[in-house]
Amino acid sequence: MNYQPNILASTLASKKTYRFATFFPEPASDVSYWNKPLIGVKRAFQEIQQYGVEISNYQFKQSEAKSFKNTAEEIMKNPPDGVVMAPFFSREARQFIQQLDENNIPFVFIDSNIKDCEKISYIGQNSYQSGALAGKLFNFSIPGNASILVVHFAKEMDNQNHLVQREKGFYEYFKENDTDKQKSLITLEITNPADKSFYRQIDQVFKKNPNIKGIFVTNSQVYRIGQYLEKNNIEGIRLIGHDLIKENMEFVKNGTVDFLICQRPEEQGYNSVTSLFQHTILKKEVANEQFTSIDIVTKENIEYYKEFN
């Protein structure tokens, strides 16, 4: 018939309790990117805790596949009723997934995806498109025959696969939209960003290529280039990077960074938990892929992208 169970009465009667585990990279500091998904997780928790949901937050080191593996084992010592994870290390993630499957524990992915497995949902950005968007913004805002420097901070704290996809989308954009190859793209790999000796590397690139009118940083460390430009009093360069972390925000506000391409990490965290809740407690269907929007943040609209906290 048309029977709709009363979920309130149901959870009240069955004093059942659920425990979800989140499994994210450890933030480097308290202004780092990976604090943001946790803000969304907390918000979701506040809304659903009355349904008897608890949440345990686990972390791994972004530079150590082994720490992913170790913490995964720790999680399985006290198996939760659902897992939200950022599957950075695909081999270790697959091992973990196998254990979850064996224990019938549902899981959702956040930030990165693993395609061929029985996840409840993937929540994150389309990195390829975000790279293409960066290409578009440069193409619109610098002269036809200018050069663009693509800076790739290699030892950074992001998932490498994302960066590859972003660069791919970026280069592909120019292949398709700059068919007579007026613009030239110069790539620079910086392996040790914390050490400011990379300033000299950039100096040299500028000397060789005086026509550089734009710099694209493929991850959230665009503030390091902002520091470089300000220190050397270089103006008239379009600077585009990623992610609304605190260090980047001041450079957007003072105009050194022109565009920041962002992905709503708080919303990703929030949606990852509520998706697990929908599936596990409410027994409702959850979309298998939930792409978050690719936001263009500037000096003029940055005020309205500070998400809930």
Residue 245 contacts a second copy per CB under 8 A? no
- Single out the residue of 160, 164, 174 nearest to residue 132, CA to CA: 174
Judged by beta carbon, residue 54 or residue 230, the one nearer DNA is 54
Q: Least distance to DNA from the beta carbon of 82, Å?
A: 17
Binding-site partner at residue 16 among DNA, a second copy, none, CB < 5 to 8 Å by type? DNA
- Binding-site partner at residue 133 among a second copy, DNA, none, CB < 5 to 8 Å by type: a second copy
Listed residue (176, 93, 89) closest to 131, CA to CA: 176
Does 39 sit near a second copy (CB under 8 A)? no
Sheet holding 289-291, edge to edge: 53-60, 18-25, 82-85, 107-110, 121-124, 289-291
Smallest separation, CB 125 to a second copy (Å)? 8
Cα angle 262, 264, 267 (rounded to 5 degrees) comes to: 175
Residues numbered 14 to 33 that lie near DNA (CB under 7 A) are 14-16
Binding-site size for DNA (CB under 7 A) equals 10
6 binds a second copy (CB under 8 A): yes
Which tokens in the block code for residue 131? 């790279």
State the CB neighbour count (10 A cutoff) for residue 280: 19
Contact between 63 and 49 (Cβ < 8 Å) = no
Q: Give the DSSP H or E segment for 53.
A: strand 53-60
# of chain residues touching a second copy (CB under 8 A)? 33
Q: Provide the binding-site residues for DNA, judged by CB under 7 A.
A: 4-6, 9-10, 12-16
Q: Which residues bind a second copy (CB under 8 A)?
A: 6-9, 11-12, 50-51, 125-126, 129-130, 132-133, 135-136, 140-141, 173, 258, 291-296, 298-301, 303-305
